[in-house]
Amino acid sequence: MFARNPIDRRLRTLAALAFTLASVALHGAVDDPRLINQIEALKRLKDTDLATRPAIRQALLRVLDQVRGQPVFVELVRDFRLRDQNAALLEYALANSADASALDALRALLASDGSDLLKSALTNSIQAGQLIEPLGKTADNRAAPLLLPLVNDRGRSVDHRRAAVQALARSQEGARGLLHLAASSTLPTDVRLLTATELNSVRWKPIQLEAAKILPLPAAKGDAAMPSTAELVHRSGDPRKGATIFRRPEINCIGCHQAMGEGIDFGPNLSEIGTKLGKDALYESILDPSSGISFGFEAWAIILRNGDEAYGLLASETEDELVLKLQGGTLQRLKKVEIANREKQTQSIMPSGLQANLTAGEFVDLIEYLASLKKPVPR
């Protein structure tokens, strides 16, 4: 007997597979065992040149229609490098953004020249919210050029810009891009501390060392390096000690904030701050007060026609007068005809560097106390 030609055997296998796939795709359910078996067979044929096997390609497309919206759809598109399925990959990633399979869809999309499609999606606020984090989790360097412009885009919400920073720090090219923004002084101040925290803990040593020079982390008491926020949030403190620290004269939180009916009514009331902010946000509000100024607590610098200056929070305003709330809680009334210039400040009225009066342990205790200040639960 003559030995069978392996090429002929492969052709017969492909032809049989094409027939079976076509039949299952037309008549079988998604969970049909025949469909599952043929999908597994397809995976073994992922190196097949579909351009020369149109029957297999058509059968594959019919199966993709059956499994669209499922992880196996992404697997098949990826394995067969189907560049005409980019829109479907994006659709899948948006619909399953919280699932790990979305990362595979985005990786496949980036690998098949889908950057323009992603760039367009990122202009949509809702879709950007669904894509920024998973794009970062892919750790794909090709995502960096898509995410980097978001950091400086003042038209974006600060939440999206912060998410972009965290996403960029997951890839080497993204981290380099953030470092370049910092070195060129084009990094927005409201994401500066977050960028410093992220870049000082990346795994790429040259970037980490450069970040330590350009974006050093805040110092603690005695010039010791303050641990990163990511490390601090995992530590547990003593809220009772934190309450004492809150009232220390050199910290003087109580000199500008009220907590549980005690303190000065100047800055935001902190009696329920633990309900509103997580520990990470509480740390950042002290380390970088200007990164998230609460609405209505923006500082105003006023220059009067006689050369005097006033600085505080805008308490109220009428057609003829404005009232500033000064540090300490006192009010200053100014006639508008006396004002030469008024300008809202981008820097928080809360001073930065308060952590320099605290050890890392004391800082943790203070945040533990603030996190305990929560809205009472109705009985």
Domains of the chain (ranges; CATH) run 6-214 (1.25.10), 229-292+351-372 (1.10.760.10), 299-344 (2.30.30.100)
Confidence of residue 22 (pLDDT cuts 50, 70, 90): very low
CA dist 85 and 78 (Å) reads 10
pLDDT in the model for residue 38:
65
pTM of the model: 0.64
Helix (H) or strand (E) holding 148: helix 144-151
Q: Return the minimum-mean-pLDDT range out of 160-169, 185-194, 343-352.
A: 343-352
* 329 CB-near residues (< 8 Å, 6+ apart): 264, 265, 266
pLDDT in the model for residue 46:
63
CA dist 344 and 193 (Å) reads 22
The mean pLDDT value of the chain amounts to 83
Looking at residue 311, the DSSP 8-state letter turns out to be E
pLDDT in the model for residue 37:
62
Long-range contacts of 64-71 (CB under 8 A, 24+ apart): 64/88, 65/25, 66/25, 66/28, 66/30, 66/35, 67/30, 67/39, 68/92, 69/95, 70/30, 71/101, 71/104
Name the residue with tokens 């002929």.
8
Confidence of residue 362 (pLDDT cuts 50, 70, 90): very high
pLDDT in the model for residue 194:
86
Helix (H) or strand (E) holding 303: strand 299-304
Are 232 and 364 a contacting pair, CB within 8 Å?
Answer: yes
pLDDT in the model for residue 84:
85
Q: Does position 369 have pLDDT exceeding 70, yes or no? A: yes
Are 337 and 322 a contacting pair, CB within 8 Å?
Answer: no
- Residue range 99-119, pLDDT digits in tens: 888 988 999 999 888 999 999
pLDDT in the model for residue 27:
38
pLDDT in the model for residue 29:
42
pLDDT in the model for residue 160:
95
Q: Does position 344 have pLDDT exceeding 50, yes or no? A: yes
pLDDT in the model for residue 282:
92
Instruction: Write the burial class of residue 147 (CB in 10 Å: 0-12 exposed, 13-18 middle, 19+ buried).
Output: buried
| Proportion of the chain above pLDDT 70, given as a percent | 84
Q: Return the minimum-mean-pLDDT range out of 88-92, 207-211, 287-291.
A: 287-291
- Residue range 38-87, pLDDT digits in tens: 666 566 656 666 666 666 677 677 777 777 888 888 888 887 788 888 99
Confidence of residue 272 (pLDDT cuts 50, 70, 90): very high
